[in-house]
Structure 1
Amino acid sequence: MNINNFLHSGFKFTGDENLQQFKFKMLNSILIIVVFFSLLFALLSDLGMNDIGPIHTKVNYVYSFLTLMLIYFLRLSKQNDTAASHALLMISLITFTSALIFVPQDEFRIIWFYLLIFVAYIINGKISGLLYTLASITIILIANFTIDLHLSNVAIHSAILGLIIGSFLSDVYTSKINNYESSLKQQNSSLSILASTDYLTGVMNRRMFNQISEHYFDTAQQGHLSLTLLLLDLDHFKKINDTYGHQTGDQLLISFVQTVKNLLRKSDIFSRIGGEEFAILLSQIDKQDAYLLAEKIRKAVENITVHYEGHNVYVRTSIGIAQNSATDSSFDDIFSRSDMALYKAKKEGRNRTCCAAFSEHDINCPQPLEQAERLDFSI
């Protein structure tokens, strides 16, 4: 196992867990350092090479052991990082208080409280940092008032002022880190939306539709549920672009998408899968109801009008429908049948709806409904 994997405790972190990954790695590193040095100080004291007193020596052994247990605890679950960090800060505060009281020969022992505050800010945030700043200052003042710490008042006052300044600087640093993390998450979220959305119409793009459709297909096949696909193509759209310009064509696309969206349920999947080709994925709707919805869409599209230099520009749509079957091995099977039905609708004169049965060669193109039956697809 390499050191990086060890510091992650063998856990995998996703792209939106970068900050947690950093804190997890940082916490593991701090725990390892604490185990090593607390044990080292205790051993050196027992060997007479760095006397920290018998009481604080024992405290360091306990400190080392408890920290070692926290390393094990951290490896049980990725979600244990918060509890482990709180436990580390608490036992560290106790250990540093022991050093303050029982190691008077160490003139620089207050420095451990500076490390405690900085670590509290880094791994647990602002509130934790402020709490341990107040706790450290309170302990120093009470200890200095009740026992002789062998420190001058100037040293005590300087230490407290240093803790306050250190707390302020740590707060500024960690606040910046958190702001950068929030900004990065927002940017990633925006990029994710852009990567899955058609830039012009705002509906799902082909890439995302391919991913979602396979998931819907697997769910439908496993649960023996109906899954119906509508492929829609705008008739003679290239001619509209060539005659009236792409800006007019874009306006028609936007109006088309808004018209269709108003007729769909929130659970329906609507995607632009080509220049003028769209797909609608319907769950738990049989082919008959899907046909009625398709006709309702087709009739509504006939009412779309865009004005261009005194001309009224209209658009029409052809629709192909296919439903899943027990013999389908992938979503491509449904897509192929729906595409053949769309081709048949084009061949039959456009501006109509054709339905594919469970064979690409069995396609039905009923007479267009003059008045599409009203269905409530708004739920």
Structure 2
Amino acid sequence: MLTDELTGLYNRRHLVNVAFAALTQAKREKTSLSILLLDLDFFKRVNDTYGHPIGDEVLRQVSERLRQCSRPTDTLGRIGGEEFCLLMPATHTHDALQVAERLRREIESIALKGLELNATPTVSIGVTTSNGGSFTFDELYSFADKALYQAKELGRNRVESVLPPKTSNFDNIEGAYTHSVIH
């Protein structure tokens, strides 16, 4: 069971295994690894207003668009509910932010096929990058999650990043660097 039944994307378990291998490779090759956490904005409203079958179809269509926009070297997974994660090996922060913004625009432009919704989906995205594999997946996930919550707090449908401090002392999360992408 490597995939999510609804979307066909990789599941969280497989994503974590791939991340471990990617971080090991990044450490060995002294390269970067970026992580994007994507969360559909106000998705609960879709389920509450139109029902779960419509919500499931929105998830399938958004997943397909994310898959189409991902590079073959990236690993895309559904990690729960309406949250997705994109692992981007050998990708620096600047490039990850550009990809995140492109994904945000792509999701915003989806004309949901066969669904009569009064809105198009939007997504908030949190970005982080590890240089040289110096952080664990859980640590990086925490930075990306913090960035995702900043995106939501600042109005949703946007990209935010929180970068780890230069050292791998996870207790120093206050030393993290924050970046906003305004669209």
Q: TM-score, with normalisation over the residues of structure 2?
A: 0.88
Bigger radius of gyration: 1
Indicate the residue corresponding to 2:178 in structure 1.
Answer: 363
Contact 2:23 2:133 in 1 (8 A): no
Residue of structure 2 in register with 1:197 after alignment: 3
Indicate whether 1:288 and 2:94 are aligned.
yes
The equivalent of 2:139 in structure 1 is 333
Contact 1:322 1:337 in 2 (8 A): yes
> Contact conserved, 2:29 with 2:132, CA < 8 A, in 1?
no
Distance 1:329 1:288, change over 3 A: closer
Instruction: Find the counterpart in structure 1 of residue 82 from structure 2.
Output: 276
Bigger RCO of structures 1 and 2 (CA < 8 A, at least 6 apart): 2
Q: Aligned equivalents of 1:326 and 1:268: distance in 2?
A: 17
Q: Secondary structure at the match of 2:88?
A: strand
CA distance in 2, matches of 1:227, 1:249: 31
Retained in 1: the 8 A contact 2:26–2:133?
A: no
Post-superposition Cα deviations, 1:104-129, rounded to whole Å, max 9, x if no partner, equal: xxxxxxxxxxxxxxxxxxxxxxxxxx
Report the CA distance between 1:311 and its aligned residue. 4.0
Letter in 1 for 2:39: D
Distance 2:10 2:54 in 1: 22
- Match for residue 264 of structure 1? 70
The size of the alignment, in residue pairs, is: 173
Partner Cα separation in structure 1 for residue 147 and residue 54 of structure 2 = 28
Paired with 2:84 and 2:90, the residues of 1 have a C-alpha distance of 20
Identical aligned residues as a percent: 36
Displacement, 1:329? Answer: 4.0
Name the aligned partner's letter for residue 328 of structure 1: S
Larger strand share, 1 or 2: 2
Kept in 2, the 8 Å contact 1:260–1:297? The answer is: yes
Instruction: Give structure 1 stretches of 5+ with no counterpart.
Output: 1-194, 369-379
8 Å Cα contact 1:305-1:312 kept in structure 2: no
Could you say if the C-alpha distance between residues 354 and 231 of structure 1 is closer, same or farther in structure 2, counting changes exceeding 3 Å? same
- The 3-state SS of whatever aligns with 1:332 is helix
Query: Could you list the per-position Cα deviations for residues 343-367 of structure 1 after superposition, in whole angstroms to 9, with x for gaps in the alignment?
Result: 1111110000001122444311121
Q: Note the 1:60-139 alignment, pairs <5 A.
A: none
Q: Which amino acid aligns with 2:181?
A: P
What residue number does 1:189 align with?
none
Residue 170 of structure 2: aligned partner: none
Deviations 1:143-192 (A, max 9, x none): xxxxxxxxxxxxxxxxxxxxxxxxxxxxxxxxxxxxxxxxxxxxxxxxxx
Root-mean-square deviation (CA), in Å? 1.6
Deviations 1:58-110 (A, max 9, x none): xxxxxxxxxxxxxxxxxxxxxxxxxxxxxxxxxxxxxxxxxxxxxxxxxxxxx
TM superposition shift of 1:244: 0.8
